[in-house]
Structure 1
């Protein structure tokens, strides 16, 4: 009986020791840390934009007549001065000849009036003529001279109208589809243009910036040179980054009251693509297409960059946990900048050199001691518990 009770007591004591070994203190939680260091970062802010041609011309007829021929292929590039359409010329050539005939008639009338005026002056000087006759001769000479000037002006108008029968391109660019075919009557009052020409190189990218974003950009780059401190890059709809950068050349002087935004435009090169046949698609940028616009700093700046997973958020805003004195986790409120893939720029809240917890954050509370080790390495044994690693794994 005594032996049975003794064995039972030993079993209970052994079980109590095992329970104490299993549920005893295990030390502070293991966390992975990184050092908040400054590194070169290219600042970038993205907007939605649209490509626009710098010059855009609607080709219209300036005289009324029958369209005789079209001298271009739709979609081709044309040069300033190229003849695009030709209107039937004979009616305008006839008008010019008639105007020239009127000039000859007016010149003859003027010469006759001048002879009559000279005769009237001689008669008046001899007393054989009256002052009334002299006054009438002078008036007839002035009238004939005015008629000659009018006839000469009509010749100039006829010459201009004849020149308008050749409809030429006023700019270099790419011409679109023709609205009318030869044989149709064209007139300046047509509602639609005969064709439209848009310039090709350079192009312009236009985008709107909210008032808040505009102030942030101004404050960021004002001390570095303003618009000269930034470059504009675009990303096409297929995700490719366009290889040529642009420069801002216009910022609107008024904020749109409906959207509280500001219009910004930048010039960007649009050279011909090598190895591509001339025509549609020989240039990358097309008037009217949507793109993603990135306003980037021309020179990299030193900024603190942390993994996005190291930044937490609650009702108080964004914050990180840093390892302070005595390996205690401390909360630091931060202001975030641009995102860089899986990282984020810290614009305010850290000075650089702090030890920031980036792994194991779910096991840590502010003010709690932690067992830090470099992120990505196995945790070190916790202090005060030699011979064993702290319980729990790291957050990958």
Structure 2
């Protein structure tokens, strides 16, 4: 029995030694130059992935700042009655365009016409009394010169003439007031603009406390928006030290529009920063001859943020995301790709501004970003960063728009007016 166990142990030991030797031989075979060469040949037989690459675009561009605001009429008037009375009729259609002087409401004029007639009669009576007193005074003066009457009698003639003259003046003043009240029974539009609805209809008694309707001007229109302290200080430095750089151009887009298709001029900045919000109120003026802007609309505002600088632009397709970071794959001289972190700026006409990470002349992967890894060799196909020339044309239009144009319909509005706590900073209207 013991002999059998010894033989089994020997057999197990021999088997273990053989297994170790076989494993060593296999490892040697795998690591041999012949095998490594075969693997390299197999990898070489696999073609590198094809990607499209494009050189970055470099343009001299202005940087822009974006804000939000609300449109507001230059003039807004609450129309009230200046005399009491019953409304005879409403003479306008709700929401209509009206001109200064157009009739809006007619208040019953009969009581005021009667007062005018009464005072007209009083004026005639007072004029007659004055004529009589003046004639008596002239006769008395002649008699006084002839010493035919006493001085006291002469003074009475003179006083009677003066009293009659004063009475006539008083009646004339009351008559003018009565005629004004009669005129005020016709409630007319105080400005050109668009009228609201009639708050009080015909048959109602009104007085000066009731707002009958409102009228808001149409052209031009203001856009008010709040600028943060950092942006305000930057603009102030540009104004004071920017030389010929003009930053008065403001561009606006409404909620249903893409981009900022409407141009106007910055014309006012408030005189102090709101300590609660850390912002300062600014205002831009926009021509509104066709009435497309309605007061109260939300508006997106864009202002030139500084002087024109050489700017690197790329297509959004070339940008990868690594958690909270942005990167691109840059092509090296040996057709490999390398990981490059980038700091992104705003979007301009469909292209993205690169603040840092790329320089002029760099070539990056545009399509196929997800199919390659950093360090991998690729088969690059060079294309343009742009699919067509429209984007470049849009960039040119944006830059041309950076120089503000004359604001039609807003004559007399200055291009920029800043009144701050440290003094007045005024910029001449360069748009003219």
TM-score normalised to the size of structure 1?
0.72
- Superposition map of 1:156-195 within 5 A: 156-190=176-210, 193-195=211-213
Instruction: Map Cα deviations across residues 252-307 of structure 1 (whole Å, 9 max, x no partner).
Output: 232223222122222223344xxxxxxxxxx5322112122223589986411245
The CA deviation at 1:363 is 6.5
**1:245 counterpart SS class:** strand
CA distance in 2, matches of 1:259, 1:352: 40
The CA deviation at 1:323 is 8.4
CA distance in 1, matches of 2:339, 2:166: 94
- 2:297 maps to which residue? 289
- Cα pair distance change 1:335/1:124, threshold 3 Å: farther
CA distance in 1, matches of 2:83, 2:123: 23
The question of whether the paired residues in 2 share the 8 Å contact of 1:338 and 1:344 is answered with yes
The question of whether the paired residues in 2 share the 8 Å contact of 1:310 and 1:320 is answered with yes
- Cα pair distance change 1:144/1:161, threshold 3 Å: same
**2:187 counterpart SS class:** strand
CA distance in 1, matches of 2:339, 2:63: 26
The question of whether the paired residues in 2 share the 8 Å contact of 1:61 and 1:167 is answered with yes
Using CA pairs below 8 Å that are at least 6 residues apart, which structure has the higher relative contact order? 1
**2:87 counterpart SS class:** strand
Instruction: Map Cα deviations across residues 106-160 of structure 1 (whole Å, 9 max, x no partner).
Output: 1122122222322332333233322222223222222211111111111211111
Residues 1:249 and 2:261 aligned together: no
Instruction: Name structure 2 gaps, 5 residues minimum.
Output: 1-13, 44-48, 384-432
Instruction: Map Cα deviations across residues 159-204 of structure 1 (whole Å, 9 max, x no partner).
Output: 11111111111222111111111111111122xx101111223322
- Cα pair distance change 1:318/1:310, threshold 3 Å: closer
Residues 1:62 and 2:86 aligned together: no
The CA deviation at 1:220 is 6.0
The question of whether the paired residues in 2 share the 8 Å contact of 1:218 and 1:226 is answered with no
**1:194 counterpart SS class:** strand
- Cα pair distance change 1:372/1:262, threshold 3 Å: farther
- Cα pair distance change 1:83/1:293, threshold 3 Å: same
The CA deviation at 1:88 is 0.9
The question of whether the paired residues in 1 share the 8 Å contact of 2:67 and 2:302 is answered with yes
**1:73 counterpart SS class:** coil
> Which of 275, 284, 287 in structure 2 is aligned with 1:269?
287
- 1:200 maps to which residue? 218
- 2:227 maps to which residue? 209
The question of whether the paired residues in 1 share the 8 Å contact of 2:64 and 2:306 is answered with no
- 1:81 maps to which residue? 101
The question of whether the paired residues in 2 share the 8 Å contact of 1:80 and 1:170 is answered with yes
- 2:30 maps to which residue? 15
Task: Kindly report the root-mean-square deviation, in angstroms, between the aligned alpha carbons of the 2 structures.
Answer: 4.4
The question of whether the paired residues in 2 share the 8 Å contact of 1:46 and 1:295 is answered with yes
- Superposition map of 1:146-161 within 5 A: 146-161=166-181
CA distance in 1, matches of 2:233, 2:344: 17
- 1:233 maps to which residue? 252
- Superposition map of 1:1-396 within 5 A: 8=22, 10-17=25-32, 35-39=55-59, 41=61, 43-190=63-210, 193-218=211-236, 222-228=242-248, 230-234=249-253, 236-241=254-259, 243-272=261-290, 283-296=291-304, 302-306=310-314, 337-340=345-348, 343-347=351-355, 352-353=360-361
- 1:275 maps to which residue? none
The CA deviation at 1:373 is 7.5
TM-score normalised to the size of structure 2?
0.66
CA distance in 1, matches of 2:76, 2:332: 63
The CA deviation at 1:61 is 0.9
CA distance in 2, matches of 1:134, 1:332: 112
**1:246 counterpart SS class:** strand
Instruction: Map Cα deviations across residues 91-117 of structure 1 (whole Å, 9 max, x no partner).
Output: 111111111111111112212222232
Instruction: Name structure 1 gaps, 5 residues minimum.
Output: 273-282, 378-396
CA distance in 1, matches of 2:245, 2:377: 47
